């Protein structure tokens, strides 16, 4: 029985008998082997580990009389009335002095079938008391449950916060150390980090689709697609864009937004509302979002003549697909999409701000 689940066993005694109560509901007895010195028992029923097979073995402190011992099943337990061979109180139930976590003392001793019928009500009351104590014991010893969804969301937002914090620190340090020359090396300094963080941000489109967060997927989709287009299809493709000072401003703006947004979602995932972070989440966008749109638009405008020159991502006729695509025209159209999408995003944030902070948008009200 080494690998078998153990049920909770409550034991009590009188001078001439020992009582055992095995806490299993809807139980059937598979096997009981009771000898003078030992009890081995196997059951199938509903216990602390659900509907399963349970079993245990006990070596008695002193010999018992198996012929005069009894066992019965009820809806809520298996009950043993074990007759001692001698009339004396045992200092413990088991032969060896050992601590068995599943074996507990029943301080409210109860009667069995061989006692008077007049004590039946007392039996039920005692059994109810035992069940209440058992339930309380299970609640006290039950390990705290872990919300895996909240843990995952918290971890994701925390790691993204650390990533963007690193970007801000590096960009700021280089600027303080090298001055304006550091702006030309912004992408060289944190390019891999920003690309990793923005690639990971694709998960923010997947999270609402899987029901991991309550927000919609459309807003994060627009942001992820827009940023990744600027980052991977424009800046990454031409070193002349990478050394443009506007890229330093763009990366700083993006990262500053995320240094507020990710802690907000991080604490929200565990039910915490940090007033200062909440206020910043619904206020800092007012200057940062227009700046981000301005810098993104500047990068697009700067890239148009570069892609006209290189012809990259453009498809000219004749070709096997019989389809033409001129990437600079797409960039012209994207400028309009960027402006309209930015306006809609700011309207959306304004509505959320009014709902969250109210009509008075002071920090004092948020606090």
Residue 16 burial by CB count (10 A; 0-12/13-18/19+): exposed, middle or buried?
Answer: middle
Cα separation, 132 vs 23, whole angstroms: 12
Per the residue annotation, which of 57, 129, 152, 289 is the catalytic one? 289
Please give the radius of gyration of the chain, using alpha carbons only, rounded to the nearest integer: 36
Output the CA–CA distances (angstroms, integers) from residue 156 to 44, 149, 265, in the order listed.
43, 11, 10
**Is residue 51 within a helix (H) or strand (E), and if so which, with residue range?**
strand 50-59
As given in the structure block, the two tokens for residue 206 are 């997947």
For tokens 């079938």, the residue is: 113
289 carries an active-site annotation: yes
Indicate the SS3 state at residue 169: helix
| Paired sense of beta strands 50-59 and 38-47, if any | antiparallel
Cα separation, 141 vs 34, whole angstroms: 31
User: Could you give the count of Cα atoms lying within 13 Å of 347 in the half-sphere of its Cβ?
Assistant: 6
> Do 299 and 352 meet the contact criterion of CB atoms below 8 Å apart?
no
> Do 74 and 131 meet the contact criterion of CB atoms below 8 Å apart?
no
Per the residue annotation, which of 262, 282, 296, 334 is the catalytic one? 296
Task: Report phi then psi at 92, rounded to 5.
Answer: -160, 170
Q: Which long-range contacts (CB under 8 A, 24 or more apart) does 32-41 make?
A: 32/71, 34/64, 34/66, 34/69, 34/71, 34/82, 35/66, 36/60, 36/63, 36/64, 36/65, 36/66, 36/85, 37/63, 37/64, 37/95, 39/80, 39/82, 40/1, 41/78
Q: Which residues are catalytic?
A: 289, 296
């Amino acid at each position: 029985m080494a690998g078998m689940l153990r049920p909770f066993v409550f034991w009590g005694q009188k001078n001439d008998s020992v009582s055992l109560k095995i806490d299993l509901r809807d139980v059937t007895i598979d096997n009981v082997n009771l000898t003078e010195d030992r009890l081995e028992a196997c059951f199938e029923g509903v216990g602390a580990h659900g509907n399963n097979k349970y079993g245990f073995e006990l070596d008695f402190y002193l010999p018992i009389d198996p012929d005069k011992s009894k066992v019965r099943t009820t809806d809520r337990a298996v009950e043993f009335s074990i007759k001692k061979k001698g009339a004396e109180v045992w200092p413990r139930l088991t032969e060896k002095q050992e601590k068995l976590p599943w074996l507990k003392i029943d301080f409210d001793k109860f009667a069995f079938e061989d006692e008077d019928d007049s004590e039946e009500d007392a039996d039920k009351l005692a059994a109810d008391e035992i069940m209440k104590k058992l339930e309380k014991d299970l609640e006290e010893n039950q390990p705290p449950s872990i919300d895996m969804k909240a843990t995952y969301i918290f971890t994701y937002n925390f790691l993204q916060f650390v990533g963007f914090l690193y970007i801000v620190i590096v960009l700021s340090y280089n600027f303080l150390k090298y001055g304006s020359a550091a702006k030309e090396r912004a992408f060289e300094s944190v390019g891999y980090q920003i690309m990793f963080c923005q690639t990971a941000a694709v998960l923010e489109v997947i999270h609402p689709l899987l029901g991991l967060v309550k927000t919609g997927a459309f807003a994060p989709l627009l942001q992820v697609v827009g940023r990744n287009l600027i980052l991977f299809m424009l800046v990454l493709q031409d070193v002349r864009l990478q050394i443009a000072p506007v890229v330093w401003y763009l990366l700083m703006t993006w990262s500053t937004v995320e240094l507020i947004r990710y802690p907000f979602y991080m604490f929200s995932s565990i039910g915490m509302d940090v007033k200062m972070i909440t206020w910043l989440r619904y206020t800092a966008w007012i200057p940062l979002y227009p700046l981000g749109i301005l810098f993104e638009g500047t990068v697009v405008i700067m890239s148009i003549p570069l892609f006209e020159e290189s012809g990259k991502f453009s498809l000219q006729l004749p070709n096997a697909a019989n389809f033409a695509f001129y990437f600079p025209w797409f960039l012209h159209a994207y400028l309009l999409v960027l402006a309209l999408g930015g306006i809609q995003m700011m309207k959306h944030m304004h509505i959320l701000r009014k709902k969250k902070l109210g009509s008075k948008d002071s920090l004092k009200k948020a606090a």
